[in-house]
């Protein structure tokens, strides 16, 4: 009685196997979408300019004061540097002081997340309050900014909380904020903070909006001091570049005081950045 059912069942099994084989062949024939390779950052050697390569081979910082009429010479070899070079060429400042630092760290798992963290750090203007630098003349650590916070505008100067980076999505290509800062050399002043986001880099331009004085002596007119920061991601490190440009009188005392101040500012900004990133800088 069971034999008549055997043949149909066998045919069903054979059909199922045939269909399965066809589906397998179709699956193998479909194009496989390749996994997106992780983003590769440029090598450190490709970013360091030849003028700084020898010095940075044995140390992680290099400070250079340009000769009169010369432009920047230790800018990182990076696309975002060209706008900065062009701006300095057009301005022709009387004093240019550059500082280039190498902050070595392992290659980041997510370069995009690291870039967002760098941007967030630079937005934290209130955390600049209390940052220190080494005073060679006093042979001691000295506070640079005694007060620092964001304001709504240079006119009303209403205190605001720090701006925040977007949690997701692209970083703003540009953003402009204003700050009130009191340092122990030039006193209380207001600045514009102009941010730029690049692939593998963040730029920041700081310009004084008020007259800067030292012990009651006027040294810098409004917009006479421009401090530009450029942070570039490399595979094995972060490059932290600062160039300070000032229209200063040729008086040796004035020029010397401004040069000392902008050099100290660069050092203080770098140490603040390192501490905020949670990375130990090599001594």
pLDDT at 272: 94
Global pTM?
A: 0.84
- Of residues 142 and 273, the one with the higher pLDDT is 273
Torsion, CA 23, CA 27, CA 29, CA 34, rounded to 10:
180
Answer whether residue 12 shows pLDDT above 50: no
Among candidate residues 150, 100, 146, 98, the one with its CA nearest the CA of residue 123: 150
Matching residue, tokens 């040729």: 250
Residues 6+ apart with CB under 8 A from 243: 72, 75, 84, 88, 96, 97, 98, 99, 227, 228
User: If you compute the radius of gyration of the chain from its CA atoms, what whole number of angstroms results?
Assistant: 28
Of the pLDDT bands very low, low, confident and very high (cuts 50, 70, 90), residue 217 is confident
Options 3.40.367.20, 3.30.530.20, 3.40.50.2300, 3.40.50.1580; which CATH number does 44-277 get? 3.30.530.20
Answer whether residue 116 shows pLDDT above 70: yes
Of the pLDDT bands very low, low, confident and very high (cuts 50, 70, 90), residue 106 is very high
What average pLDDT does the chain have?
A: 87
Q: For 42-66, how does the pLDDT look when each residue is reduced to its tens digit (9 = 90+)?
A: 999 999 999 899 999 889 999 999 8
Percent of the chain exceeding pLDDT 70 equals: 84
Q: What are the tokens at 141? A: 């650590």
Q: Are 242 and 266 in contact (CB under 8 A)?
A: yes
Answer whether residue 29 shows pLDDT above 60: no
**Which of the residue ranges 87-101, 206-220, 230-244, 246-260 would you say has the lowest mean pLDDT?**
246-260
- Beta strands, E only, 29-116: 61-65, 95-104
Residues 6+ apart with CB under 8 A from 229: 122, 203, 204, 205, 206, 240, 241, 242, 269
Number of neighbours of residue 117 by Cβ within 10 angstroms: 15
Domain boundaries, the chain: 44-277
**Which of the residue ranges 12-21, 171-180, 245-254, 261-270 would you say has the lowest mean pLDDT?**
12-21
């Amino acid at each position: 009685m069971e034999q008549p059912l055997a043949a149909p069942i066998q045919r069903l099994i054979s059909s199922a196997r045939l269909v399965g084989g066809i589906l397998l062949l179709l699956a193998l024939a479909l194009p496989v979408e390749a996994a997106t390779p992780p983003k590769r950052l440029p090598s450190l050697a490709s970013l360091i300019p030849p003028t700084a390569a020898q010095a940075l081979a044995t140390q992680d910082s290099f400070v250079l004061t340009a000769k009169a009429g010369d432009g920047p010479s230790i800018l990182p070899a990076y696309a975002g540097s060209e706008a900065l070079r062009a701006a300095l060429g057009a301005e022709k400042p009387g004093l240019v002081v550059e500082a280039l630092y190498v902050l070595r760290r392992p290659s980041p798992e997510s370069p995009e997340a690291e870039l967002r963290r760098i941007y967030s750090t630079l937005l934290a203007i209130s955390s600049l309050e209390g940052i220190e630098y080494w005073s060679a003349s006093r042979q001691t650590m000295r506070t640079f900014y005694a007060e620092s916070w964001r304001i709504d505008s240079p006119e009303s100067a209403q205190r605001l909380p720090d701006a925040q980076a977007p949690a997701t999505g692209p970083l703003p290509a540009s953003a402009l904020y204003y700050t009130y800062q009191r340092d122990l050399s030039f006193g209380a002043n207001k600045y514009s903070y102009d941010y730029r986001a690049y692939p593998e880099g963040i730029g920041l331009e700081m310009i004084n909006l008020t007259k800067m004085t030292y012990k009651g002596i006027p040294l810098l007119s409004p917009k006479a001091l421009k401090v530009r920061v450029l942070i570039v991601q490399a595979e094995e490190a972060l490059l932290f570049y600062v160039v300070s440009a000032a229209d200063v009188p040729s008086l040796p005392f004035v020029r010397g005081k401004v040069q000392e101040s902008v050099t100290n500012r660069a050092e203080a900004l770098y140490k603040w950045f390192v501490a905020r990133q949670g990375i130990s800088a090599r001594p």
